[in-house]
Structure 1
Amino acid sequence: MISDADRIAAAQAYISALASHRADAVPFAPGCTRTEVGIKTGFSGNHLRRSLNRGLQYRVIESVSSPEFTVDGDIVRARFELSTKPSLAGRRVGARVDETFRIPADDPAGRAQIHQITASIRPFITR
């Protein structure tokens, strides 16, 4: 069994990569997918890694807050906020993010791997 702490660490690696744009250490399962507001935005672990490293959709992210994690079975849920780099008249776009990660406690690989991510995002304007 893979501990909750190890599975939270896997989810944290992904969240940290949102702002650092360095996803080489994120433990994606090869077939990992990501869905955002009902639209599939990640098609494999390698695709997600490339997107986080170089994708313009992630390059605008400047920082993420410390997530609040909960674990229920194979699901690790993270709630956090992010802020973007662009600023207009001293205002930036931020977002409240609620992501669920399917990270099985009994993964056949014997380590914590992200198999699926589902994201809900609510943008807001901040100073």
Structure 2
Amino acid sequence: MISDADRIAAAQAYISALASHDADTVPFAPGCTRVEVGIKTGFSGNHLRRSLNGGLQYRVISSVGTPEFTVDGNTVRARFDLSTKPTLAGRRVGAHVDETFLIPADDPSGRAQIHHINASIRPFLTR
């Protein structure tokens, strides 16, 4: 059985990679997928890793806040804010992010792996 702490650490690795743009250690399962506001944006663990490492959609992210995690069964939910590099009329664009990670406690690999991510994002402007 994989501990909640290990599963939270897997989700944190993904969240940290959003701003560091270094996803080499994010524990994606090979078939991991990601859905953002109903649209599939991640098609495999390798695709997600490549996207986080160099995709323009992630390169605009400059920082992420400290996530609030909850664990329920095989899911780990993370709520946090992120900031982007671009500004709009002198205001920085940010987002309230709510992501649910499927990280089974009984993964056959014996380690915490992200199998699916479902993301909800609400943009906001800040000074």
Task: Please tell me the TM-score bracket, short chain as reference.
Answer: over 0.9
1:105 matched to 2:105? The reply is: yes
Partner of 1:9: 9
Separation in 2, partners of 1:17, 1:63: 10
Separation in 1, partners of 2:72, 2:86: 36
Taking structure 1 as the reference length, the TM-score comes to 0.99
Separation in 1, partners of 2:42, 2:62: 21
Q: Which runs of 4+ in 1 moved over 3 A?
A: none
Question: What is the CA-CA distance between 1:88 and the residue it aligns to?
Answer: 3.5
Partner of 1:38: 38
Taking structure 2 as the reference length, the TM-score comes to 0.99
Partner of 1:56: 56
SS in 2 for 1:70: strand
Q: Which amino acid aligns with 2:107?
A: D
Question: What is the CA-CA distance between 1:89 and the residue it aligns to?
Answer: 3.8
Partner of 1:73: 73
Separation in 1, partners of 2:88, 2:102: 37
Q: Which amino acid aligns with 1:92?
A: R
Question: What is the CA-CA distance between 1:38 and the residue it aligns to?
Answer: 0.2
Unpaired segments ≥5 residues, structure 1: none
Unpaired segments ≥5 residues, structure 2: none
Deviates more, 1:81-90 or 1:92-101: 81-90
SS in 2 for 1:66: coil
CA RMSD of aligned residues (A): 0.6
